[in-house]
Structure 1
Amino acid sequence: MNVHLECLSHTPLLGHFDPPQAVLDEVSALQHAARERIAAFDPELVLLFSPDHFNGFFYDVMPSFCIGTGAHAIGDFGSLAGALDVPFELATACASAVIDDGIDVALSHDMQVDHGMAYPLEHLIGSLTRYPVIPVFINAVARPLPTFKRARMLGEAIGRWARGTGKRVLLIGSGGLSHQPPVPEYADAPEPVRRSLDGAGYTLSEEERAIRTKRTIAAGKAFAEDQRTLHPLNPAWDNGFLDMLEAQAYLQLDSVPNDLVSALAGRSTHEVKAWLAAFAALSAYGPYRTGHRYYREIPEWIAGFGALSARPLGA
């Protein structure tokens, strides 16, 4: 077996506003089990698909997709901070292959990443640097958004390249599922917020970042009391999406409009495209089987929270 996949929801609210201990124990147990599977697999390369939350990518230049040849995590919400171990030559080769395969992807020699990438590295691996990792950003919050079809095609192109390396490759997708935290919309944002979305947020002061953190924690507390304060979670959408991944039937998503997904499950639900890209990359290795499925609505974290692993048939 030379490929393994783990997908996991992420949350910045872990440790800031948590669900009951029994739920925390469930999540901790599933993460621990995933870490053990990954350690047994012992990857030579990690491909990490994840979004950003206006911490590293802004409207001054907002790509649909970006591959990092170098990256550092900012440590927002108390997540891990510091440089990722990004293999420059391999990441450059990956980006070149994807472009040659017909997918126009941006490149960053110093990608700034937030909890969206730090969370899965911390909770699935335990470190930002234990394994070489190539970060793949997928825009999930800044309109206009990439389509499901393009995210799938991106994943397939990366999977074809990864298969050709001959390395043991770990695919990680992180994000979603249904949720709509208080991320501002550019169209109706006041001027100071627009400046932040246009790039001023790249270098927030500690005080400014603390304000963002407190605002999100307050939103989680309010949402736990009353799901009408934000877009409600949608377990039917979440489980339907997981069903499609398990059945290898995600081509059905090609024709699903972005606006429909936002209306059904919240504007940040587009983070599931990171899961889709990871599974599409896995499909380049042939048919697969899934396992270790988990799903629970966790309003304290403003999320339909899930996990799913997969590996090729016969592995």
Structure 2
Amino acid sequence: MITLKDIAEEAGVSIMTVSRVMNGNTTKVSEKTAVKIKEIAAKRGYVPNSSARALAAKSSRLIALLMLYHGEGNPLEDSYHAIFLGEITRYVQEKGYFLILRYVSDYKDVTYSLRSWNVEGAIFVGGFDSVMREILGANKIPLVFTDSYSPLNQITNVGIDDYKGGRLAAEYFIKKGHTSLAFISPEITQKNGVVEQRLRGFQEVLAAHGCPLKKELIFPLRDPVNDPSLALKLKPLLPKVTGLFVTADQIAFSLIEGFKKYDIRVPEDISVIGFDDFPLSRQITPPLTTIRQDIIEKAKSATSLLFQQLEDKDASPRQISLDVELVERASVKNLI
């Protein structure tokens, strides 16, 4: 069996350096060295001693939840991830299995994590589309992806109708008399992903009504939830822009609170539509008009599909797209 010492000798580094990288601690290791160590470990099928018990068992009864993470903030501070993880955990435990949550940053972390603990299946959260083919090729266990727009037809995926969500937001703004609008989102990190689908639906409705979304009014931001100056950055848009479509409630909450510091009132001065319909959407002032997705049903569907594959090794891949709806509250002003 391959050991840390073997990897260290091939990589030309110390055993301690290999141990740090294998345990996710790369603060004292260059990126080039860390990548080299992970490649050697993956190539030679390294499995840590800590997982020997799971490997020895005929059935580990372990399910992995892999969440894309690049070391910025705590992913579970986001209400979406917290709700989704909580529901997945509940459904997995009801089946008599155990859940392992693992943050991963690239393809090598995925394969290492799945092999390390001999998991029986995995659910993916985040934009894994660019490495989907590699993940499927290297891991022959049941895998369920969420919110994927990968063209690969051999994947099992649970998502929502993001395009429809964008359309619903635009249609509601138009219905209320808003024709000058802006689009606020996290960075668009992958082509044809969740955010791009919402943007496309939003754009197409506005264009059809003769008020196309201007390029300079599309704001894909690096960390909009934790940006204390976001409201100030958007203040110059007023009053020429009357409404904002914000692609996550979490961003909308931060933005509404930030506007209050500059005496910008929602919806009197600027209208806002969010996306998700978290519980807080009903409780903030003003209550947030938003596009509702059923996160609980998404978690239930993803877990159900995973266990169907565990019980039937010949089960065909399935793609589920859950519906969305607009929930009308008080954050959009009627201009008609």
TM-score range, shorter chain: under 0.3
Q: TM-score w.r.t. structure 2 length?
A: 0.26
Q: TM-score, normalised by structure 1?
A: 0.28
Q: Which has the higher contact order (CA 8 A, sep 6+)?
A: 1
When Rg is computed on C-alpha atoms for both structures, the one with the higher figure is 2
